[in-house]
């Protein structure tokens, strides 16, 4: 897969982590990234939020302002994607990064 592929769900309605981080206490706050190139590697997990449910995505491709990855979380609520689906997240939608 590459940044030119379009075989993924573009999560346009995922929450803006920067906006949300202003509303949380320090212990619960998302840790949004400033740079995909320097802060995220292929294989890392990134956290996102849609409709109040946080979920993890394994990064398969890094692009200039977004990542493409595979949803690895079991989702509780209904979403237009599910575990195992490819999804695109913009840099501002990434809550946290877990390096594995």
Domains of the chain, residue spans: 9-98
Cβ-contact 56, 98 below 8 angstroms: yes
pLDDT for 84: 97
pLDDT for 43: 97
Phi, psi (rounded to 5 degrees) for 91: -55, -40
Point out the residues of the chain with pLDDT beneath 70: 1-2, 5, 18, 20-32
For Cα atoms 18, 21, 54, give the angle at the middle one, nearest 5 degrees.
90
pLDDT for 24: 57
Q: What is the DSSP string of 17-76?
A: HHHHHTTS-TTT-----S-HHHH--TT-EEEEEETTEEEEEEEEEE-SSEEEEEE-SPPS
Domain 9-98 - what CATH class?
Answer: mainly beta
By C-alpha distance, which of 91, 99, 72, 94 is closest to 83? 72
pLDDT for 20: 64
pTM: 0.83
> Each residue of 27-41: pLDDT tens digit?
555 566 777 888 899
pLDDT for 44: 96
Q: What is the mean pLDDT of the chain?
A: 84
């Amino acid at each position: 897969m590459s940044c030119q592929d379009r075989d993924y769900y573009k999560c346009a309605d995922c929450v803006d982590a920067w906006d949300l981080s202003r509303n949380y206490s320090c212990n619960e706050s998302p840790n949004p990234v400033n740079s995909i190139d320097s802060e995220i590697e292929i294989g890392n997990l990134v956290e996102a939020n849609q409709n109040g449910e946080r979920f993890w995505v394994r990064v398969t491709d890094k692009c200039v302002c977004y990542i493409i990855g595979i949803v690895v979380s079991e989702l509780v609520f209904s979403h237009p994607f599910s575990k195992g689906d490819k999804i695109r997240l913009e840099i501002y939608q990434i809550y946290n990064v877990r390096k594995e």
